[in-house]
Structure 1
Amino acid sequence: MKTKILLAEDDPDFGMILKQYLELEDFEVSWFQNPEEVVNILGNDFPFHIGILDVMMPSMDGFSLAKLILKEKSSFPILFLTAKNQKIDRLMGLKIGADDYIAKPCDPEELVLRIKNILKRTQPVPSSQIKMGSYFLDTEKLLLSHPEGNIRLTIREQELLLYLLKHNGTMIKRDDILDNLWETNDYFTGRSLDVFISRLRKYFLNDPAVKIQSLRGIGFEVDFPEN
């Protein structure tokens, strides 16, 4: 079965080129020039595996569209296309819950690589319950549960959390996390990591025994008690 991509891009020339290239790579692409058309199908069957959203669209920007999609499909992977190379745009996308971003004009081969990397992370993980202090992580449902309430994780959040758990009780270098999970290491991916670490800390506020401690200039040290 082909991977189904939702492409929201209002530029007719760029959208057509992107659609044709992705189809040559054996993806099935549904291209929407008007983001309102995407909103209209959210309540129906939503057959897509990943969304590629342009940030700058006239009737509705990509951030607003992503929020609406994630409200209905909380773990839906999203990659943003942005014509601006500004930090504020990238951080905004990450805070919303996007999995990745790429600046236009983008290298089609790089875009395909990023899509495939995201799709690798979206493959089903064996069902398991992992205990961390007073929390449980259900890796199949991407659900972090606690007596005070449940939190639905994004794929990237769970990926990072599982990496931290794998290195529980040890010093974890920032560079190792970026190389293994982001597969690149620059200023923006470093800031992306900080955003996700901040989110995880907030999720574990109900148990002070769970610690994600920053080691300045080095990385992190984590403590996830099993009892």
Structure 2
Amino acid sequence: MSAPGRGLVLVVEDEPAIAELIALYLRRDGFGVHVESDGDAALAAVRRLRPVAVVLDIGLSGKDGVEVCRTLRAGGDWTPVLFVTARDDEVDRLLGLELGADDYVTKPFSPRELAARVRAVLRRAHGAPAEVLSLGEVRIDVPGRRVWAGEREVALTSTEFELLAQLMRRPGRVFEREHLLSAVWGYAASAGTRTVDVHVAQLRAKLGDASPIRTVRGVGYAADAP
């Protein structure tokens, strides 16, 4: 277990190497992590530790992940659950979501993506953007209006801050320049799209190699995990 700066995530996985990898990336994101390897221990840990989310392998020996989730929901526990499974089958996928799972990833998966999915699940669960946005080496403290690239704090203008936050709140989504003008500057006009390009260039220069911003030719920009 580690100090839960953003809350404790329970990882339920019976393959030690996979559990260790998931825990590593969640801890890098500022979560505390507790690991269990079987279903009964997982249910006990949920009751004892009250995690903010559960990363739950379906293929556990004994009481599997489906039964764990079913037991939680039947008992009125709606802790966000993200299923992990080696079975990429539509029936399993639908079953998992019908049980009340919040998301579903299949092995092999990117641990960075899984950590991002956990953050997204928590944002949806709380009904508001996360107070801390993190993507790769870039981290934003939204209420404190502070930005870090790795260990280095980066000074941004108000507009640069809002533009970066807009992109990082929806990792992987491609934003058209007109959309960014409307969301960040409060207006939309094709003649003003050069403003977006200039501010993106400034952001990239300040963030350096840590910059998550990707150009989508002829469309706009997206923020992606490395």
TM-score (normalised: structure 1): 0.52
Partner residue of 1:71? 74
Structure 2: where are the runs of 5+ without partners?
129-169, 174-226
Alignment pair present for 1:120 and 2:123:
yes
Of all paired residues, the percent bearing the same amino acid is 28
SS state of the match for residue 116, structure 1?
helix
2: CA distance, partners of 1:95 / 1:4: 25
The Cα shift of 1:46 comes to: 4.0
The Cα shift of 1:72 comes to: 2.8
Partner residue of 1:88? 91
What RMSD in Å do the two structures reach over aligned CA positions?
A: 2.5
The Cα shift of 1:41 comes to: 4.2
Partner residue of 1:40? 44
Partner residue of 2:189? none
1: CA distance, partners of 2:66 / 2:82: 11
Partner amino acid for 2:30? D
Specify which of 92, 106, 110 is matched with residue 107 of structure 1. Answer: 110
1: CA distance, partners of 2:44 / 2:6: 24
2: CA distance, partners of 1:48 / 1:72: 16
2: CA distance, partners of 1:16 / 1:4: 15
2: CA distance, partners of 1:40 / 1:79: 18
The Cα shift of 1:71 comes to: 2.4
Partner residue of 2:33? 29
2: CA distance, partners of 1:115 / 1:20: 14
SS state of the match for residue 126, structure 2?
coil
Partner amino acid for 1:39? L
Residues 27-85 of structure 1, C-alpha deviation per residue, up to 9 Å, x if partnerless?
Answer: 1111001221122345x444211111001011111000001122234322111001011
Alignment pair present for 1:12 and 2:16:
yes
Aligned length: 129
Partner amino acid for 1:57? L
Partner amino acid for 1:55? I
Partner amino acid for 2:32? E
2: CA distance, partners of 1:80 / 1:32: 14
Partner residue of 1:193? none
Structure 1: where are the runs of 5+ without partners?
126-180, 185-227
Residues 120-175 of structure 1, C-alpha deviation per residue, up to 9 Å, x if partnerless?
Answer: 112167xxxxxxxxxxxxxxxxxxxxxxxxxxxxxxxxxxxxxxxxxxxxxxxxxx
1: CA distance, partners of 2:101 / 2:37: 20
SS state of the match for residue 74, structure 1?
coil
Partner residue of 1:59? 62
TM-score (normalised: structure 2): 0.52
Give the 3 Å change call, closer, same or farther, for CA 69–107 of structure 1 in structure 2.
Answer: same
The Cα shift of 1:26 comes to: 1.1
2: CA distance, partners of 1:60 / 1:108: 25
